[in-house]
């Protein structure tokens, strides 16, 4: 999928008028039926089936908060197959509203999409969701992870989910998909692994009564537990063989650090293997989704374990004061829903003080502290352009493409661990 890109001077972009806020719309029956019909074609070959649990506890059109794990581009199709004809709005990234001379924004709003900026505190979104529940009388589908899963497990969740559930006072539905990640993992360069089945389970996680009875902590812990999935473990348990010849393409996007020699940026996933260009160690990605060294010891076979090891390595770098990202970047911006504006080149530094972005002949100087957000918007092959990270606030978003091919997975891990350390230090200070 592509988007509208325009080259424009930085000052001209900053001078563009900001769009006025628009209230969410209830998706009409025509659009719900049309989307449900189109899912027939979108889900072909998936052998899709699902089961439900506890739906007798809620009304057929009773407004609910619907939580769903975010694994691939077919997530919304899965949701429609399960929830139809229940009317629901969808929380999604505001960059999805761009393109086709305003037609994309019209379409997205018509089918009930509600824009937000990922990993930015957005009071307006909270109000919009409440408007859906109380005024439109619709349910709201949201992906609390905000970004697609990198490694087949849940990405970092917001810490205040329990508070949110208390605020809305509506039943909560959880939709968990199985196989969707294996069919189209984000790292695999948009290649679809056909013949991988997709299943799903939808269950009522909390009724209104349970939300009122439970504490904020209990609710948050329940949501956290509901997102405890692991695609690669599930694949092995199901004995699901994925034998595509390109299954390791792009795997270095998440496994960027060699577990054998420790080199970074030298890994290359291609075909069915991933190889370190520094030491030559090569691992096969087996048909069951495990790593197996072609020679010698397999240091880490389970991909989520490998990703957790990389996280630990990043955290130690931060604690030792050694973590540093220092790279030239191509800069694109979003200030409205008309286009992504390419404004030129710049320089990005990420260290213990946060992100510092400079560029556009000295006119751009933006700093973002570590405590700004609990995670970072990062994506692979973003709109078929390149790997990207996004920083910024509710007014201006900076989409940054590292020129040195720095792994965006590491940058996101670093941002998450800096945030955690900030919170840990703040808590420790409060106890003193």
C-alpha 372, offset from chain centre: 17
- 265 lies in the same domain as 219: no
- Does residue 297 sit within a domain? yes
- 306 lies in the same domain as 200: no
pLDDT at 432: 65
What confidence tens digit (pLDDT) does each residue in 372-387 have? 989 999 999 898 899 9
What confidence tens digit (pLDDT) does each residue in 141-194 have? 999 887 888 999 988 888 789 999 999 999 999 999 999 999 989 898 878 888
Alpha carbons 24 and 333: distance in angstroms, whole number: 24
CB 139 within 8 A of CB 32: no
- 31 lies in the same domain as 83: yes
Range of the domain at 44: 25-237
CB atoms within 10 A of CB 124: 13
pLDDT at 189: 80
- Does residue 113 sit within a domain? yes
Confidence of residue 197 (pLDDT cuts 50, 70, 90): very high
- 221 lies in the same domain as 360: no
Domain boundary (176, 203, 237) is at: 237
pLDDT at 61: 85
pLDDT at 366: 97
Alpha carbons 369 and 352: distance in angstroms, whole number: 9
- 290 lies in the same domain as 200: no
> Residue 358: which CATH number?
2.30.29.30
pLDDT at 146: 76
- Does residue 243 sit within a domain? no
Strands 65-68 and 139-142: parallel
pLDDT at 429: 76
What confidence tens digit (pLDDT) does each residue in 14-25 have? 999 998 999 999
Phi and psi torsions of 424, nearest 5°: -65, -40
pLDDT at 195: 86
Strands 267-270 and 273-276: antiparallel
Of 147-156, 177-186, 229-238, 278-287, which range is least confident? 147-156
Q: How many domains does the chain have?
A: 3
**Under DSSP, is residue 133 helix (H, G, I), strand (E, B) or coil?**
helix
The secondary structure element, H or E, covering residue 401 is strand 397-402
Domain boundary (280, 303, 319) is at: 319
Nearest by Cα to 119 from 93, 89, 154, 151: 93
Mean pLDDT, residues 332-350 taken together: 96
């Amino acid at each position: 999928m592509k988007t509208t890109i325009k080259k424009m001077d930085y000052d001209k972009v900053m001078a563009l008028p900001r769009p006025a806020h628009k209230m969410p719309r209830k998706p009409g029956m025509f659009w719900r039926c049309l989307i449900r019909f189109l899912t027939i074609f979108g889900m072909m070959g998936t052998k899709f089936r699902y089961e439900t649990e506890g739906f007798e506890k809620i009304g057929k059109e009773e407004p609910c908060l619907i939580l769903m794990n975010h694994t691939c581009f077919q997530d919304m199709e899965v949701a429609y197959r399960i929830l139809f004809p229940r009317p629901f709005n969808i929380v999604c990234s505001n960059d999805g509203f761009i393109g086709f001379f305003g037609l994309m924004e019209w379409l997205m709003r018509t089918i009930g999409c509600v824009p937000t900026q990922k990993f930015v505190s957005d009071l307006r979104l909270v109000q919009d969701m409440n408007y859906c529940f109380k005024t439109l009388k619709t349910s709201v589908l949201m992906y609390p992870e905000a970004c697609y899963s990198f490694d087949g497990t849940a990405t970092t969740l917001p810490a205040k989910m329990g508070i949110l559930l208390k605020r809305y006072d509506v039943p909560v539905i959880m939709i968990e998909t199985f196989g969707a990640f294996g069919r189209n993992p984000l790292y695999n360069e948009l290649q679809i692994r056909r013949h991988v089945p997709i299943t799903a389970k939808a269950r009522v996680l909390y009724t209104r009564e349970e939300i009122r009875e439970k504490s904020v902590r209990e609710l948050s812990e329940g949501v956290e537990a509901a997102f405890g999935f692991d695609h690669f473990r599930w694949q092995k348990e199901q004995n699901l063989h994925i034998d595509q010849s390109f299954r390791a393409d792009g795997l270095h996007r998440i496994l960027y650090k060699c577990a054998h020699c420790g080199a970074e940026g030298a890994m290359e996933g291609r075909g069915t293997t991933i190889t370190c260009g520094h030491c030559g160690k090569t691992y096969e990605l087996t048909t069951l989704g495990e790593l197996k060294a072609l020679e010698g010891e397999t240091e880490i076979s389970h991909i989520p374990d490998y990703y957790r090891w990389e996280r630990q390595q990043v955290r130690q770098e931060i604690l030792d004061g050694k973590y540093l990202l220092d790279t030239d970047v191509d800069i694109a911006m979003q200030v409205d829903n008309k286009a992504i504006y390419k404004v030129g080149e710049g320089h990005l530094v990420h260290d213990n003080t946060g992100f510092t972005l400079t560029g556009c002949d000295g006119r751009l100087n933006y700093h973002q502290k570590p405590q700004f957000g609990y995670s970072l918007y990062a994506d692979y092959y973003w709109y078929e352009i390149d790997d990207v990270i996004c920083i910024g606030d509710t007014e201006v978003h900076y989409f940054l493409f590292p020129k040195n091919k720095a792994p965006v997975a590491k940058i996101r891990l670093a941002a998450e661990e800096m945030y955690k350390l900030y919170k840990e230090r703040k808590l420790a200070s409060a106890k003193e």
